Amino acid sequence: MAGSSPPAASGRIFISYRREETAYPAGWLYDRLADRFGGRQVFKDVDSIQLGDDFVEVITRAVGSCDVLVALIGDQWLTITDAHGRRRLDDPDDFVRLEIEAALTRNVRVIPILVDGARMPRADELPDSLVKLVRRQALELSPARFEFDTSRLLKVLDLTLAEVRTAQDDPALEPAPAEKVPDPTPGVVQETPAPPEQEQQRGPPAALSPPGGARPPSAGGVPPDKQRRRLSTRAWILAGVGVGVVLILLVVAIVANLQTTPSANEDVIDRQDATEAGGGIDVVSTPVTSPDEIRLTGLKAASGSDPPSVGDTVTVSYSLTNVGDEPIQLEYTFVGVRNPAGENRDTEDMNEGRVLAPGETVNAQGRRLLDGAGSWELWPCYELSDGRQCPDKWQVFFILAK
C-alpha cells in the first residue's frame, strides 16, 4: 500500500471486514486511519498470499504484528453464506473468522465496529473460538454520521495505541526497596538487612572496632557515647510520630467504616451514590476482599470531561492481590458495564491466564465508550479458571452521561 512514513508514536491497525457487505465503509475507514496514523501502519487486506503459502499462517502473522484489530460487522455478518449455502462463520478456513481468532488468541486488542445499525452478536450465535468477541467494547459507524463516528473511533484508537506503547516500553513495577525502621527501644536503631550487592557497596560495618579495641570517632568528631544519646532521642521522637500517625489512621478508618453501607458480605459494597468530580469520577476505593481471597485496591475511574458526557470514554483501573495461601488461576480481568437500557457492555479482557502466587498483585483496567445518555453502572471484576467470578457488582459506581 502507498502512504507516507508513519509518525514515530503510531501503532499498527488491522481492518477485518467482508467485501460482500462492508467494502465501502472499510475503504472510507482505511483512508481516514491512513491519514491519521500513516498508510503503512493500517492493513485492510491480505492480498499478498502467494501460491503455495499457508494462508492461515499468513493471516496469523499479519494480525499478530498489529496492535489493534478493527472488526467491521454489518447486518449480514452473522448470516452470510458461501456458494454451498453454509454459513461463512462456521467454516474454520473463513478469512474473517481466522483474523478475529488470531487476534483473540494473540491477545491483540479487538474493537468491533457496528456498521449502519448492525447489532452486536450474542455468544450463542458464534463459534466457540469467537465467543470472547461479545465482551469487546463496540462502536457504531453510520454513513449518515460518518465524520462524528470516525472521530470517536480515532479518540479510542489514540488511547488504545498509547496504552499498548506504554505496556511495551515500561518495565514491570518492582517493589520499593527496604527502608530503615525506627525501634522505640532506647539507644537502639535497627536497620533492615540489605541485599548482598548493597552490603558489598557499604564497606566494613561501622560497628566493627579497629585493632586494639579503640572505637573510631564519628563524622564531625562527635564522641560515640554522645552520638548514641542523639540517636536514642531521635528514635523516641520517630516512635512518637509513628504512634500519632497510627492513631490518626485508626480514626479515619473508623469514620470511613461508619459511613459505609453494610451488607451480607462486609467486603462487598454496593454503592449507588457515586458522582462526577474534577474531571474524574468518584468511586468507593476502600480495599475489599472477595470470598476467593482476592483483595481489590486502588479503584479509580476517569473520563475526558467533567462531567462525563455521551461520546466520552471512561477508563477504570484497579489492582487485585492474592491474600490467600494458594496460587489463584485467573481466566481474565475486566470491568462490568451496564448501559442505561440495562444491556451488558462489559469491557475487553485483560490478564488472560495469569496465575497469582500468594501475596502477588496484578494491575487491571477497562475502557468503555459512553454511547448513550442516562445512568451507567460500572464495577471491577474477574473470572477464575473454574468459572467463578467476582461478587455481583463488586464496588459498583454510577455515571450519569448527558
- Distance in angstroms (rounded) separating the CA atoms of residues 135 and 152: 19
Domain regions of the chain by residue span: 13-169, 276-401
Residue by residue, pLDDT tens for the chain (402 residues) are: 333 433 433 568 999 999 888 888 888 888 889 888 888 888 887 655 667 878 777 777 788 888 899 999 999 999 999 889 999 999 998 989 999 998 998 888 899 999 988 999 999 999 999 999 988 878 888 877 778 888 888 888 888 788 777 766 655 544 444 444 344 444 433 444 444 444 444 343 333 334 444 444 444 444 444 444 444 455 555 556 565 665 666 655 555 554 444 333 333 333 333 333 334 688 888 899 999 999 999 999 998 777 888 888 899 999 999 999 999 999 899 999 999 988 888 888 889 889 999 999 999 999 888 888 888 999 999 999 888 889 888 999 989 888
What Rg do the C-alpha atoms of the chain give, in angstroms?
Answer: 28
Residue pointed to by grid coordinates 470511613: 256
> Which helix or strand (DSSP H or E) is residue 158 part of?
helix 146-169
3-state secondary structure of 16: strand
Residue 310 vs residues 41, 162, 339: alpha-carbon distances, Å:
29, 22, 12
- Report the run of H or E that residue 378 belongs to, with start and end: strand 374-384
Angle, vertex CA 295, rays to CA 274 and CA 378, nearest 5: 30
Q: What is the H or E stretch that residue 100 is in?
A: helix 95-105
- With residue 376 as reference, give the H or E element that holds it: strand 374-384
Yes or no: say if 302 and 159 are a contact pair by the CB < 8 Å rule.
no
What topology does CATH give the domain 13-169? Rossmann fold (3.40.50)
Distance of CA 31 to the CA centre of its chain: 30
Give residue 223's identity as a one-letter amino acid code.
P
Grid cell of 117 as nine digits: 445499525
| CA angle, residues 354, 355, 360, in degrees to nearest 5 | 110
Q: CA-to-CA distance for 273 and 266, rounded, in angstroms? A: 18
Distance separating alpha carbons of residues 56 and 96, to the nearest angstrom: 11
Q: How far is CA 318 from the centre of its chain?
A: 8
13-169 against 276-401: fold identical? no
Cα distance between the two ends of the chain:
41
- Collapsed DSSP state (helix, strand, coil) of residue 9: coil
Q: What global pTM score does this model have? A: 0.45
For 234-343, strand residue ranges (E) read 276-277, 280-281, 288-289, 294-302, 313-322, 328-338
- Asked if 378 and 395 touch (Cβ cutoff 8 Å), the reply is no
Per CATH, domain 276-401 is 2.70.50.60: yes
